[in-house]
Chains A and B, each alone.
Chain A
Amino acid sequence: MIRLSVPFRQALSRLTFPVMLVVSLGFILIGRADQGFSDRLRAELDDVLAPAYMLVSGPIQAAEHGTGAIGHLFTLSAENTELRAENARLLQWQEVAMALEAQNNALKASMNYVPPATPTYSTGEVVADLGGVYARSVLVLVPPANGNPQSLVGAVAMDGRGVAGRVVEAGGRSARVLLITDLNSRVPVALGADGAPALMTGTNGPNPALLYWAPGQPPAEGAMVLTNSQGGAFPPGLPVGVVHYDAQNDPVVLPLANLDALRLLRLFSYPDNLPVLTPIPHTKPAATHSRKR
């Protein structure tokens, strides 16, 4: 311990508050000036905490799957009949899908269709639902990226049924996915069969809102919502959800992805479809290098 005189120590203790307050306000300024600063710090913290999250989320998921095993016994026969009916219905749909696929292939062949590049993907387990008060995001464990973890940033995250969000930060073993319900989420979408453009914006609630659809052509209730390649952030045609009119008669999207209980996410990296203006972290180092030379 350093020995200080009493008046000096008192002055110091009186000074710590204003100094720390100024430091905090300085952090706010730095965060405003350089968005990447807090993102990098968050990614590092997430990487450190990911194993701890994993330890906790494992037993919780096991409990969710394991409990109710006895309860299931009583509803077994009812569930079985339900599943048989559903199976029959799904088999019908499978036949429809196969017929449509054959038709689609024939049409593509006659139009000399060039398929888009297949994306690379990695599958990650959702270990934490890190929503803040005004934010919706999840933390995904990813296999150690080969070389550059930043290459995952911008990847499209999908669960089994639809788009769940996009990767906004990536560290060595974890990636943070901004969900489509987050306030800062903006996804260009195509509505219905004719692909009318609109923008899906997160509201922090369960169902994102639809904005900027063509006037005079309101989105139809029940129309399919697919991603739109406008702006280049998303590939076209990924399923997002279904149009629904809420109590205020505003069109919202009911997401297909089960955003409240995400367990596994597939992260699709489409390397060449980021728009020109998007800051791409993984190309930054190269740019600075070339400038130095």
Chain B
Amino acid sequence: MAHGPAMRRPPSLWRKLDATARWAFPGALLVFGLVVLGMPFGMPGQAELRPVFAMACVYFWSLYRPASLPALLTAAAGLLLDLLGLTPLGLWAALLLLLQWVTIALRRRLVPAKFLFTWGLFTAFAALVSFLAWAGQSLLYASLLPLWPTALETLFAAGLYPGLAALLIRAHRGPAAVELT
């Protein structure tokens, strides 16, 4: 670390910008992805895809870089998801926070685990969280909502996590990597 006066100089503006951009990447990607997935592509199942994307991002970043996804940002993303997805305001915010909390609590065991295990656990979490979303919405609407979107979300979670994780790992190592200075 202490190799000379060059390292001890206060970081330049560009350096600070770079560090900030790297720090902000996970949150920005989450919000940007939610907005893009809200766009009218006319894909079937697009509505179910949005919460799955949010869950995958929160799970991945909480696992590998919790500092970049503070609780405030998770709550904000959840509120955005509620506003875009017509769910009761605050429901997904609470659910994403719960997911993040559980993930961070299990972090020490999960980070060294095999990918297959983290994938399976994410699928289980996604099933649980989407079931909770169904239960919460049924409760708030005071009517029994159909359960098939929960199953679809679980399927999406199982199918899409490896691909998304591959992209996020690449980002985690490349453009969003934290500089070790």
Using a CB–CB cutoff of 8 Å, the interface residues on chain A facing chain B are 16-17, 19-21, 23-32, 37-38, 41-42, 45, 49, 52-53, 56-57, 60, 127-135, 137, 183-184, 204, 261
Residue in A closest to B79 when the chains form the complex, CB atoms: A27
Q: What secondary structure prevails in chain A residues at the interface with B?
A: helix
- Give the interface size bracket for B toward A: 35 or more
Asked if B118 is an interface residue, CB under 8 A from chain A, the answer is no
Using a CB–CB cutoff of 8 Å, the interface residues on chain B facing chain A are 35, 38-42, 46-48, 51, 70-72, 74-75, 78-80, 82-91, 93-94, 97-98, 100-101, 133, 137, 140-141, 143, 145-146, 149, 153
> Is B83 in contact with A53, judged by CB distance below 8 angstroms?
no
A-B contact pairs, 6 of them (CB 8 A): A21-B97, A27-B79, A38-B83, A42-B86, A57-B40, A134-B146
Most A Cβ at <10 Å: residue of B90, B133, B145, B153: B90
> Is B38 in contact with A23, judged by CB distance below 8 angstroms?
no
> Is A128 in contact with B38, judged by CB distance below 8 angstroms?
yes
> Is A27 in contact with B90, judged by CB distance below 8 angstroms?
yes
Q: What secondary structure prevails in chain B residues at the interface with A?
A: helix
Chain B residues within 8 Å of A26, by CB: 90
| Complex CA–CA separation, A23 to B91 (angstroms) | 11
* Min C-beta distance of A175 to chain B, whole Å: 15
Give the residue of A16, A17, A21, A56 whose beta carbon is less than 8 angstroms from that of B39: A56
Chain B residues within 8 Å of A127, by CB: 40
Chain A residues within 8 Å of B78, by CB: 24
* Min C-beta distance of A135 to chain B, whole Å: 4
Chain A residues within 8 Å of B40, by CB: 53, 56-57, 60, 127-129
> Is B93 in contact with A132, judged by CB distance below 8 angstroms?
no
